[in-house]
Copies of this chain bind each other. A is one copy, B any other.
Amino acid sequence: MALHPVVLCGGSGTRLWPASRPGRPKQFLPLTGPLSSFQETLVRLRGLGAETPVIVTGAAMTEQTWVQARAVGIEPMVLIEPEPRNSGPAAAAAAAFIRDLDAEGVILLLAADHHVGEPGKFCKAAALAAQAAAAGRIVTFGVKPDRPATGYGYIQPGERLGEGVFAVQAFVEKPDLETAKRYVAEGRLWNSGNFAFRADVLLDEMAAFEPQLAKAAEEAVREARRDGGTVCLDPAAFARAPGKSIDYAVMEHTKRAAVVMADFTWSDLGAWPAIRDAGTADGEGNVVTGDAQLVDVKNSLIRTDGPLVAAIGVEGLAIIVDGDSILVCPLDRAEEVKGIAERLKAEGR
């Protein structure tokens, strides 16, 4: 069984402004160390003995993708989405592309913007997931929740299928807060947004639940333009794929879902508090990147790409200096950055 990593690298977050900007999305930023999360994802794969990674990204990000992959010594295949259409079409197109190379191939579908604390544990979980996938399962990586987040899918594990692998008894994408609280109390798991499946299995399930999506994605690969390691999916075909996530398109419906326990530290680096949590704190709980002078500062995130930041007497604050912009905001209100980033974009700045 060959394992084909597919890395979804087309995201464009606004919640990490001013570090993330249009054209410089978070997966390419060194947020938790010297490497970007995209690079960390590629490096993490080294422990798996996998095939050439396939990166799915947008045309505007192709150059960054190549530069960052080569900087960590990896020569990937790059599938270019003509337009962003959510994770369903991207996953289906990658599956169609891999199936043509390897009819029995197992895909390990990974997000490019996640942080994993222990790569060794990740590889062990990925190997278990790949085994279950080879047997026909669509395997998710379940993370133990530490809060009733409403932005994730929740998995209820059922029957044990093998070592560390369970059938999925229920899968609910993005519940409301009350439901999320109940799910956490019941021991349901977050869907981390990483998957393992056989290419043909995913395409069969797509064809069953989202036939138009499956057909459009397969056609986008068939009609693709190829140039060395770059594959440009056919724009007309890809545009016909409904813009659904893999979760809504397949996971909420399939009977083949399984879950592997992700016992590694996991973060989707969704907003500034997650960046602080994934970093190394000083004795006062501050995570500092760049030139800073702190006096009586606690539990704060200070990032500067150049200027000196002097902070006195603040707690739980994010101070982010990036290029021509500076953000100052309590970490527990960092989600509101999205509004500012969107307003600036609307103003053409």
Contact = CB atoms under 8 A, between A and B. Distances in A.
A333 interface: yes
A116 B344 CA distance: 38
A314 B293 contact: no
Interface string A320-333: 01011111111001
Contacts of A18: 308, 310
A312 interface: yes
A345 B215 CA distance: 67
A336 to B, nearest CB: 5
A328 B336 contact: no
A307 interface: yes
Contact of A340 (B293, B319, B324, B330): B293
A304 B325 CA distance: 10
A304 B307 CA distance: 13
A346 interface: no
Contacts of A344: 293, 308
B312 A324 contact: no
Contact of A330 (B307, B312, B327): B312
A308 B336 contact: no
Contact of A336 (B312, B325, B326, B337): B312
A310 B324 contact: no
A295 B295 CA distance: 26
A180 to B, nearest CB: 24
A317 interface: yes
B313 A325 contact: no
B339 A295 contact: yes
B319 A328 contact: yes
A343 B293 CA distance: 10
A308 B329 contact: no
A328 B306 contact: no
Given A310-B329, A313-B336, 6 more contacts: A308-B325, A311-B327, A312-B336, A312-B337, A314-B317, A328-B328
27 contacts: A17-B310, A293-B340, A293-B344, A304-B326, A307-B321, A307-B323, A307-B324, A308-B325, A309-B325, A309-B328, A310-B326, A310-B327, A310-B340, A311-B327, A312-B327, A312-B330, A312-B337, A313-B329, A313-B333, A313-B336, A314-B317, A314-B328, A314-B329, A319-B326, A319-B328, A321-B326, A326-B326
